[in-house]
Amino acid sequence: MIGICNLSNISLRHDPESKSEIVSQLLFGETFSIIEEVEGWSKIIIDDDKYTGWISSKQFEILESEIKQRETAIVFPFVTATSIKGNIMIPAGSTLPNLTGNQFEINGITYHLLQENLKYAIDSLSKIAVQYINTPYFWGGRSPFGIDCSGFVQTVYKQCGVQLKRDAWQQAEQGSLVSFLEEAVCGDLAFFDNDEGKIIHVGMMLDNNKIIHSSGKVRIDSIDNFGIMNMDEKQYSHKLRIIKRMV
């Protein structure tokens, strides 16, 4: 069965219980396959990034017809849609199925956007990214109301029509290697590791010495060949491992 997120967002959890760790979020309009069901919980695999986890069976609909076209919601921090069910906030980065003009439909319910949805090209990455400045860090988050490091770059890229994987270590396996920091350009992703060599953080380069990333909040810091220099604390916060170009 195919489900669709018809709420602003749904928490994706590691285990089928409300106390379990939130590992990611589904945003409005994103679809998924249900692979297991148990006691009010559904184990799913998300169509876009193939991420797996558990969601409450009370928080989605079964999709009754095929989605032929998908647009990404761009208006920041959210666009409001109205339907017979009332108003709903649709966060930036959400999916608008079969959008025609300013309306779309899910399972026979017509939604009307109260603002025009915008479109951005890949050269708008920095314009989109800086909108998230001061968004609080939230483990597993993917929305303008709370976002983690890999969720941040994934959502920014999605708004420009490029699908990245979910976790930083997965994203580090995508794209092509940038050999030197001096060759980095806006939109390149920088990855950072711990003492064991595990990728634990990612941010997006604004140029070859500035990076925007989610650490405590979405912020802009300096970067050099060692890593990120936290501009507030005047010390290194993350150790640079590699830089990858996604487009």
Q: What is the dihedral of CA 138, 74, 67, 164, to 10 degrees?
A: -50
Peptide bond into 77 cis (omega under 30): yes
Query: Does the active-site annotation cover 149?
Result: yes
List, in sequence order, every residue forming a beta bridge with 49; answer none if it has no partner.
none
- The single residue of 5, 160, 201, 238 carrying the catalytic annotation is 201
Supply the DSSP string of 71-96, one letter for each residue: EE--SSSEEEEEETTEEEEEETT-EE
Cβ contact 80:87 at 8 Å: yes
Query: Which entry of 5, 160, 213, 238 is annotated as an active-site residue?
Result: 213
Identify the bridge partners of residue 70 per DSSP, sorted by sequence position: 97
Active-site pick, 149, 160, 186, 238: 149
Q: Specify the pairing of strand 52-56 against strand 61-62.
A: unpaired
- Distance (Å, rounded) from C-alpha 198 to C-alpha 28? 32
| Count of beta carbons in the 10 Å neighbourhood of residue 62 | 10
Active site members: 149, 201, 213
